[in-house]
């Protein structure tokens, strides 16, 4: 397996490049609009071909690079089936493996940050990787206060699904705001200050409800834009459309 962890610094998003050595096909997990060209250049440099982009959820903080990549290299768009997006080529769902070459992703429905959020589990060479999206982060977790987020569902997703993975499973989050790259399920169980095993559901709810996080600056165009797999929606109010278009024009 070919693996690269790429960062988009403005939104502190991690995009994962996962390639099949036998077929040369690549999947980009959570590509960002702003860094798609960089990611495609790397894929070309490695002598590989982008087969799919795969998003964990409808992001509020950045535009996905899914449609842009498709336009540039003809990759297909995979995303949670329950998002019901007309722009996707393959809808993924729990219980159905998503396979590209020898790389197999097992989707896990992990609502809470959004109501359709999915994590992806990949087993390779005796290691378990879990792409946790914004469900579980290193020493943290995604917020639950918008996009049909639900703090109780988030608690269940992490405790019953993600924490049921092997302790040595490698946690590959969609973001880190402090320059950390990787964690493990055991480490998150032991020391995650929000949802480590020493926290009750009541503790978690209280912590999440007292975060007082700012409104994401791109949310008003990113969410509808990501429902188009990363385009500026034509029906946006004038000011928002200008912001979105300024963004996509770089
Ligand atoms: Fe998110």
Ligand 1 centroid distance, CA of 23 (Å): 31
pLDDT digits (tens, 9 = 90+) for 173-202: 999 999 999 999 999 999 999 999 999 999
> Reduced to 3 DSSP states, what percent helix, strand and coil does the chain have, rounded to the nearest 5?
30, 30, 45
Is the predicted pLDDT of residue 250 greater than 80, yes or no?
A: no
**Average pLDDT value for the chain:** 96
Ligand 1 centroid distance, CA of 74 (Å): 25
In 110-220 the beta strands, taken as DSSP E runs, fall at 118-124, 127-133, 136-137, 140-141, 170-173, 183-184
Ligand 1 centroid distance, CA of 118 (Å): 11
Q: Please report the pLDDT score of residue 247 as a whole number.
A: 85
Is-contact 80 119, C-beta < 8 A? no
- The pLDDT confidence band at residue 54, using thresholds 50, 70 and 90, is very high
Ligand 1 centroid distance, CA of 28 (Å): 16
Radius of gyration of the chain (CA): 17
Cβ burial, residue 4 (10 Å; 0-12/13-18/19+) = middle
pLDDT digits (tens, 9 = 90+) for 17-49: 999 999 999 999 999 999 999 999 999 999 999
Is the predicted pLDDT of residue 244 greater than 80, yes or no?
A: yes
Backbone angles phi, psi at 237, to 5 degrees: -60, 150
Ligand 1 centroid distance, CA of 60 (Å): 6
Ligand 1 centroid distance, CA of 135 (Å): 8
Ligand 1 centroid distance, CA of 174 (Å): 8
Instruction: Show the 3-state SS of 67-114.
Output: HHHHHHHCCEEEEEHHHCCCCCCEEECCCCCEEECCEEEEEEECCCCC
- The pLDDT confidence band at residue 241, using thresholds 50, 70 and 90, is confident
- The pLDDT confidence band at residue 235, using thresholds 50, 70 and 90, is confident
pLDDT digits (tens, 9 = 90+) for 63-104: 999 999 999 999 999 999 999 999 999 999 999 999 999 999
């Amino acid at each position: 397996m070919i693996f690269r962890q790429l960062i988009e610094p403005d939104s502190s998003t991690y995009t994962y490049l996962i390639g099949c050595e036998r077929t040369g096909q690549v999947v980009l997990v959570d590509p960002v609009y702003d860094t798609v060209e960089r990611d495609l250049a790397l894929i070309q440099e490695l002598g590989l071909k982008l087969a799919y982009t795969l998003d964990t959820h409808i992001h509020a903080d950045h535009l996905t690079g899914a449609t842009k990549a498709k336009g540039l290299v003809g990759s297909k768009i995979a995303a949670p089936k329950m998002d019901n997006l007309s722009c996707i080529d393959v809808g993924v769902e729990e219980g159905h493996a998503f396979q590209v070459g020898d790389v197999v992703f097992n989707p896990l429905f992990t609502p809470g940050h959004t109501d359709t959020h999915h994590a992806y589990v990949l087993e390779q060479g005796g290691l378990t990787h879990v792409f946790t999206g914004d469900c579980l982060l290193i020493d943290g977790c995604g917020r639950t206060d918008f996009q049909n987020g639900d703090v109780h569902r988030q608690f269940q997703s992490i405790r019953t699904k993600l924490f049921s993975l092997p302790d040595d499973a490698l946690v590959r989050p969609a973001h880190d705001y402090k320059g950390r790259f990787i964690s493990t399920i055991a480490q998150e169980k032991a020391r995650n200050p929000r949802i480590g095993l020493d926290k009750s559901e009541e503790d978690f709810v209280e912590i999440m409800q007292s975060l007082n996080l700012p409104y994401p600056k791109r949310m008003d165009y990113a969410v509808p834009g990501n429902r188009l797999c990363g385009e500026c929606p034509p029906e946006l109010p004038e000011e928002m459309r200008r912001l979105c278009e300024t963004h996509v024009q770089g």
